[in-house]
Structure 1
Amino acid sequence: MKHLLQNAWLTRGGLACLLWPLAQLYGLLVRLRRVLYRRGILRSERFKVPVVVVGNVVAGGAGKTPLVIALVRHLQAQHIAVGVVSRGYGRSGLDCVEVTPTAPLAQTGDEPALIHKLTGVPVFVADKRTEALQALLAARPDTAVVLCDDGLQHYALQRDIEIAAFDDRGAGNGWLLPAGPLREPWPARKHHGLDLVLHTGQKAAFEGFTSSRKLADDALSPTGDRVALDGLRGRPVTALAGIANPQAFFGMLEDRGLMLEATITLPDHHVFSETDLAGLRGRTVLCTEKDAVKLFALPGAAGLDLLAVPLVFSPEPAFFAAFDALLAPLLSPLPSKHGHQIA
């Protein structure tokens, strides 16, 4: 069924037409929910610090987490105290948890753990992002800006800046779930509080800022040793990816001149176990940093030739300039509107 739905998203015929009534119903529910929040029937909470939500209008991964990491580093470069909140997709339990190097991945989720590892900023996860933000501010009262990884449709948390990430799929066939990939109507969503659009893929499907992505020159071993990617050319390697778009990772490795003797595609947020390692012995295995967060933590990984290949993700300078222009009034001691309500 998943394969059929993915194909349906690529065309306005076939199965997509059969699912059209469900998409219409979904659209009505989306609009009703927005109205309930706008009129205060459903509670929406505002916090004392600027909140920036980075999310998707389409279902599935579209580069949100690399964008959050890029924004964190951009704020760190300006010496702005920043924290991150997330639901922690795929984790076990609903409790509010602070992400630390020793916190079990099953309780934090892979993407929050990766954000914390690469940036060092405080990261809190909770089923309700408002609870994560409350815990973050209680633990780090000096926090000046909070980034929410995902949550564009989580209207219980009021936000000051909304950023939507799109990959090469763009808006797909333009239909709402389940007939298409859209969580909300597009381009209508642009007129309901959305501030910035960033394309994270190779080509922009419509107007918005662009970004570049490439693999780092060096891969990293579980012990932190660096291995030059160019030094792996001419040597058979296995590529493994449990992300939203594994083929993008495999393609970038091939573009660097690497010979992939095998590729292993796993579901996004795959929970690795020792069983997954059994077939990797005797191979040089390249994986993403997101996969490495989980793979390197397994005891059996120590005896394998596992290498994580970092992604170098760079939004265009104009994107950061536009972001800074939106954020500056919120950080100023002068009076400001301090963001927008649910439109």
Structure 2
Amino acid sequence: MKLPTPRWWYVRSAAPAPVARALLKPLSWIWAAVTARRIARAHRVDAGVPVICVGNLTAGGVGKTPVVRELLRRLSLQGVAAHGLSRGYGGSLAGPLQVDPALHTTAEVGDEPLMLAADAPIWIARDRAAGARAAGQAGAQVVVMDDGHQNPGLKKALSLVVVDGETRNGEWPLGDGSVFPAGPLREPLAVGLARAEAVILMLPDDLATADPELLAVFGTTPVLIAHVVPDAPPPTGPQLGFAGIGKPWKVERALKAAGCDLKDFASFPDHMAYDPATLKALAAQARRLGAGLVTTEKDWVRLPPAWRARVTAWPVRCVFEDEAALDALLAPLIP
């Protein structure tokens, strides 16, 4: 059974978080040690094509997949044959294979690859090096890998880490610096930053500047500010929203900020596979509220086909404040 992301991970001082963190600290030390040993011992395979890794330092949603989509779009506009690569989390197929939206399902290839495949060539592979090689053999000039900063088996030409930059309402995206499961970090912050060429700091659209205290933790690592913004207005009329992503509460906030008449919102665990009982319960609640149903694109692709016509997918996109700085990072990789 999947559990939702603990909100106390992102609060630096609030009960019961200190107690939970203290109890889980020994497990976090073990996790960090195992991760460090795995990375240190790995042999990095050169796949024969430049690989851009878009990873993160924390568990939970940070806006990584919109960044991947934007990089693929920008590279394509510059005439580069850019393909995406994903592990295909939650899918049954091991790959490597190219995702076909008309053929594959989320149960086979995962939700993020299926969503991205509507806009660009996307590959899934449990073996990332094999996936990058397959993409290169199929004509990719650059591979953009969704996640994998802690995956040491593939040589990377550019490593970007995406960090949630929202620090309002008592939230702190890095928690108190604790590693999973005592906190959201996948590895100690300094260790993860040492392997990154840049940080992409995702700010809500209504925040123009980042918290100086947060910026300071990245030290000398370059920071690019980006925003996830609506790519279309939310549906009109009363709505019941739902989402099964890393931080579903951020979808609720974003819908309200975009002017959606949100009557209620249901949160589910990341990569939630919506079963008929859950969907019928959501539909019944929507009827009681006299509302429509709205969710994210990532959730929408996980819906059974018969339900997609009954739910509105609300699209978003990633916008970089300094596009020239992003292009400067990408330029050395463009043939």
Query: CA 1:4–1:70 in 2, change beyond 3 Å: closer, same or farther?
Result: closer
Counterpart CA distance in 1 for 2:10 and 2:241 is: 27
Counterpart CA distance in 2 for 1:93 and 1:261 is: 38
**Conserved 8 A contact 1:52-1:148:** yes
Aligned to 2:301: 293
Instruction: For residue 177 of structure 1, report the CA deviation from its aligned partner.
Output: 1.8
Counterpart CA distance in 2 for 1:253 and 1:324 is: 30
Aligned to 1:326: 329
Tell which deviates more after alignment, 53-62 or 126-135.
126-135
State the number of aligned residues: 304
Q: TM-score, with normalisation over the residues of structure 1?
A: 0.81
Counterpart CA distance in 1 for 2:154 and 2:70 is: 22
Aligned to 2:199: 197
Aligned to 1:129: 128
Deviations 1:32-65, CA, capped at 9 Å, x for gaps:
223213xxxxx32112211100011111221110
Deviations 1:166-221, CA, capped at 9 Å, x for gaps:
11343211111222211121134322x310101113345325221122223335xx
Larger radius of gyration: 1
- What residue identity is the alignment partner of 1:180? G
Counterpart CA distance in 1 for 2:261 and 2:333 is: 49
- What residue identity is the alignment partner of 1:299? A
Counterpart CA distance in 2 for 1:236 and 1:201 is: 27
The gaps in structure 2 that reach 5 residues or longer are 167-171, 205-209
The gaps in structure 1 that reach 5 residues or longer are 38-42, 220-228, 333-343
Aligned to 1:16: 21
Aligned to 2:276: 274
Instruction: For residue 313 of structure 1, report the CA deviation from its aligned partner.
Output: 2.0
Aligned to 2:86: 86
- What residue identity is the alignment partner of 1:136? A
Aligned to 1:155: 152
Taking the TM superposition and a 5 Å limit, the aligned residue runs for 1:177-326 are 177-191=180-194, 193-202=195-204, 203-204=210-211, 205-206=214-215, 207=218, 208-219=223-234, 229=235, 232=236, 235-279=237-281, 280=283, 282=287, 283-295=291-303, 297-302=304-309, 304=310, 306-317=311-322, 320-326=323-329
State the percentage of identical aligned residues. 30
SS at match of 1:173: coil
Query: CA 1:216–1:8 in 2, change beyond 3 Å: closer, same or farther?
Result: closer
Counterpart CA distance in 1 for 2:63 and 2:175 is: 16
**Conserved 8 A contact 1:116-1:122:** yes
Instruction: For residue 3 of structure 1, report the CA deviation from its aligned partner.
Output: 7.5
Aligned to 1:109: 110
